[in-house]
């Protein structure tokens, strides 16, 4: 086929004209090298040489251009085998490394790696040293001192009992908010003092917020028990209820003791013509339940005033305070009768009776008094007389006698037994409206 393409005019040229020039030989050599190992020249190269041989001027005028063109073609063709080799290397999958090579390079993996759950925990208990326990008293301290600390007797049964009661007093409030009504029919039995000490005990051992509300329709003294003169009162809170949205807003109307107990004082204005009503108490209770876990209410001495209906209607538990005397015991028993007769049977049976000694010893048989009330309520707690409480001054837990503090810790634990119970309305307790009673419009 190459012969059919030849030009007849070229065949009639002289021998010198037909002889290729040095440049043509050089280009022919390059073309031969590009033709591959077989040494065959392509048809395009022959045509190109034939055309330029017929036009020697084109050869002499553009030798540099033709040389550059040839070098460029050489580079492109030399790059093609490299690209093909690179593409072939990409298609080939790299062999997986041998396990022995990996072990030699990185080391052997652990036989049983430690689970994440077993790693040391960065908690306060792990990073902060435990607090030093209080040194024992009595003969235990004498033994420890005499033996230079080599012999350390264990804690007494009283100390173990204190820890158990404190743990019970920290019971979580299952319903989110819990209301305790502290009441008595007879005045002067230590009702307000019991409210202050019980609230201070709960606030000191717990981590959540505890508040005591002075709902006495007359001149209440609950805020004075924690060492604060009442500034704002619950009536001021009601007047500004639209502005109370956060706990910080509410703190402007409460006083706080060293034990972290907060107190909402009652209205002490002698010129006030309206007593604290049921609807007002319900509104106060609605505001407080959003910010506090436990609410203690110091009730008045009567059971028939308007606020008492709201207090008993929302209360989860009743603490009935009685003096250790004949008339005090009769008043407390009559209070339980009144609760059962007016639809509060559940509160009467779940009540905690506090037998508070307000003076020196008398001839009352405490065992028989205790048996009488234990048959009618859930628990009875006896509180001994304490000179600090007898002075009627500010309540400071550190100034109480050990037996008195133990008695109030037992009372706090007894009250806390009800924290784990569901809402009374959900539990179906007889005579209980429950915490979620709609507010009367």
Phi, psi dihedrals of residue 84, rounded to the nearest 5°? -65, -40
pTM, rounded to two decimals: 0.65
SS (H, E, C) 368-388: HHHHHHHCCCCEEEEECCCHH
Instruction: Give me the pLDDT at residue 216, please.
Output: 83
Return the pLDDT at 36: 46
CA 431, CA 339: separation in Å to the nearest integer? 9
DSSP letters spanning 168-184: HHT---TTS-EEEEEE-
Q: How far is CA 437 from the centre of its chain?
A: 29
Confirm if 222 and 182 have CB atoms less than 8 A apart. Answer: no
| C-alpha span between 403 and 414 (Å, rounded) | 16
Residue 60 exposure: Cα atoms within 13 Å on the Cβ side: 5
Q: Is the pLDDT of residue 49 over 60?
A: no
Please give the backbone phi and psi of residue 135, each rounded to the nearest 5 degrees, phi first.
-65, 145
Q: Is the pLDDT of residue 308 over 60?
A: yes
Separation of first and last alpha carbons in the chain: 113
Residue 437 has pLDDT above 50, yes or no: no
Residue boundaries of the structural domains of the chain: 163-427
Q: Which residue has the higher pLDDT, 286 or 102?
A: 286
Residues 400, 144 contacting (CB under 8 angstroms)? no
d(CA 303, CA 274): 18
What is the length of the chain?
A: 441
Q: Output the pLDDT for position 121.
A: 67
Residue 299: pLDDT above 70?
A: yes
HSE, CB side, 13 Å, CA atoms: give it for residue 420.
8
pLDDT number for residue 97: 64
The per-residue pLDDT for range 14-32, each reduced to its tens digit, is 444 444 444 444 444 444 4
Given this model, what pLDDT does residue 380 score?
A: 96
φ and ψ at 106, to 5 degrees?
Answer: -110, -10
| Nearest alpha-carbon partner for 382 in 359, 360, 411, 424 | 411
Average pLDDT in the chain = 76
Pinpoint the alpha helices (H) of 252-325: 278-288, 306-314
Give tens-digit pLDDT for 383-416.
999 999 888 878 899 999 999 999 999 999 999 9
| Helix (H/G/I), strand (E/B), else coil: 339 | helix
- pLDDT(229) > 90: no
For domain 163-427, give its CATH number from 2.40.50.140, 3.90.226.10, 3.30.1700.10, 3.40.50.300.
3.40.50.300
Name which residue leads in pLDDT, 224 or 320: 320
Q: Is the pLDDT of residue 226 over 90?
A: no
Q: Which two tokens stand for residue 366?
A: 């405490």
> What pLDDT is stored for residue 438 in this prediction?
34
- Return the higher-pLDDT residue of 78 and 181: 181
E strand map for 219-280 = 255-256, 262-264
């Amino acid at each position: 086929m190459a012969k059919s393409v030849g030009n007849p005019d070229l065949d009639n040229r002289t021998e010198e004209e037909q002889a290729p020039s040095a440049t043509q030989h050089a280009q022919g050599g390059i073309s031969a090298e590009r033709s591959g190992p077989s040494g065959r020249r392509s048809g395009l190269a022959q045509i190109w040489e034939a055309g330029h041989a017929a036009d020697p001027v084109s050869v002499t005028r553009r030798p540099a251009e033709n040389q550059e063109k040839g070098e460029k073609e050489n580079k492109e063709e030399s790059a093609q085998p490299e690209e093909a080799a690179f593409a072939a290397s990409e298609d080939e999958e790299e062999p997986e490394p041998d396990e022995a090579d990996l072990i030699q390079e990185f080391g052997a993996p652990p036989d049983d790696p430690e689970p994440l759950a077993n790693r040391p925990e960065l908690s306060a208990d792990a990073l902060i040293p435990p607090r030093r326990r209080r040194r024992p008293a009595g003969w235990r301290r004498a033994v420890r001192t005499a033996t230079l600390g080599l012999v350390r007797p264990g804690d007494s049964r009283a100390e173990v009992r204190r820890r158990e009661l404190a743990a019970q007093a920290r019971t979580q409030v299952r319903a989110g908010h819990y209301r305790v009504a502290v009441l008595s029919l007879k005045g002067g039995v230590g009702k307000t003092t019991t409210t202050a000490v019980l609230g201070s005990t709960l606030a000191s051992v717990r981590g959540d917020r505890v508040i005591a509300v002075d709902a006495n329709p007359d001149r209440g003294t609950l805020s004075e028990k924690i060492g604060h003169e009442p500034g704002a009162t619950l009536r001021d809170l009601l007047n500004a209820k639209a502005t109370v949205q956060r706990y910080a807003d509410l703190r402007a109307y409460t006083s706080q003791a060293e034990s972290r107990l907060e107190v909402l004082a009652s209205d002490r204005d002698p010129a006030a013509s309206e007593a604290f009503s049921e609807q007002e108490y319900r509104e106060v209770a609605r505001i407080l339940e959003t910010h506090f876990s436990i609410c203690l209410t110091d009730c008045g001495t009567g059971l028939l005033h308007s606020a008492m209906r709201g207090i008993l209607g929302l209360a989860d538990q009743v603490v009935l305070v009685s003096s250790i005397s004949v008339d005090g015991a009769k008043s407390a028993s009559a209070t339980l009768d009144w609760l059962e007769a007016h639809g509060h049977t559940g509160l009467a049976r779940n009540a905690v009776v506090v037998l508070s000694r307000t003076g020196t010893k008398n001839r009352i048989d405490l065992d028989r008094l205790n048996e009488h009330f234990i048959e009618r309520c859930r628990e009875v707690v006896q509180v001994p007389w304490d000179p600090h409480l007898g002075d009627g001054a500010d309540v400071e837990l550190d100034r109480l006698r050990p037996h008195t503090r133990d008695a109030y810790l037992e009372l706090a634990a007894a009250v806390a037994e009800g924290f784990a119970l569901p809402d009374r309305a959900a539990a179906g307790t007889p005579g209980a409206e429950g915490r979620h009673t709609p507010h009367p419009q």
